[in-house]
Amino acid sequence: MADADIHSLERELAAMHAASWGWALACCRRDRDQAEDALQQAYVKALSGRARHDGRSSLKTWFFGVVRLTALEQRRFAAIGLLRRKDAPETEELQAASSPDPAVARETAEAVAACLSKLPERQREVLHLVFYEGLTIAEAALIMDVSLGTARQHYERGKANMLAALERRGVGA
């Protein structure tokens, strides 16, 4: 890769760092250490050329796929004892939802995060990509490496499961 191409890629990746960090956290079940490692490894893969953007999707869609696969790879290694695992992942500081009462907003944000974390992995991933990252279901399907129909199914089931879980907690009722 030419120096000019690497610098251009670095600038584009830097511009979407906040979104990439949020996605890494989602892929690593909110474990900050794992997310930092996964994101750093994804940057290395992208900038070293081990992962290459072929132009078939947007750079964001492609890079989110790299982050997801890197996080999955970390989990596989951890499962066989090749990576150190933490006993209890840290919880990221949640952003307050728009509410006149900050305490209510924080409780709501915490309830949403708790319910989201309990969803099956694919449902959690598609909801994060669509609602937090503002991607379409089609873009989420590309990142998740599933068909559009499968992504839609996980999206619909995830929304229904989230609604039921939030209603059980008395949120949004």
Q: Which domains does the chain have, with CATH numbers?
A: 3-79 (1.10.1740), 102-168 (1.10.10.10)
100 three-class SS: coil
Structure token digits, residue 47: 């900038």
Please list the pLDDT of the chain residue by residue as tens digits (173 residues).
Answer: 677 788 899 999 999 999 999 999 999 988 999 999 999 999 999 998 889 998 889 999 999 999 999 998 887 766 655 444 344 333 333 333 334 567 767 787 788 888 888 999 999 999 989 888 888 999 999 999 999 999 999 999 999 999 899 889 887 64
Q: What is the DSSP letter of 101?
A: S
Rg (the chain; Cα; Å): 17
* pTM greater than 0.75: no
Structure token digits, residue 138: 């089609």
